[in-house]
């Protein structure tokens, strides 16, 4: 995420971090989780 986005200075990066974490943990599919997001994986484990 950091490498794919403009990051002209530290202040810009700090303002974007929360957005990047939100996307990575709640929407981005992970191959190690069988292409589910961590949120989806946790929900599946809690339900079973």
- Measuring CA to CA, how many Å separate 26 from each of 14, 30, 35, 47? 19, 11, 12, 17
Considering the entire predicted model, what is its pTM?
A: 0.67
The predicted pLDDT at position 1 comes to 56
CA neighbor of 25 nearest in space, from 48, 43, 7: 43
Query: Scanning the structure block, which residue is given the tokens 């990047």?
Result: 20
How far the first Cα of the chain sits from its last, in Å, is 31
What band does 2 get if pLDDT is binned at 50, 70 and 90? low
Chain CA centroid to CA 46, Å: 20
The predicted pLDDT at position 39 comes to 95
The predicted pLDDT at position 7 comes to 75
**pLDDT tens digit sequence for 8-36:** 888 888 888 899 899 999 999 999 999 99
């Amino acid at each position: 995420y950091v490498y794919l986005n403009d990051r002209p200075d530290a202040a810009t990066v700090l303002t974007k971090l929360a957005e990047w974490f939100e996307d990575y943990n709640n929407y981005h599919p992970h191959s190690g989780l069988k292409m589910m997001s961590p949120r989806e994986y946790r929900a599946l484990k809690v339900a079973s």
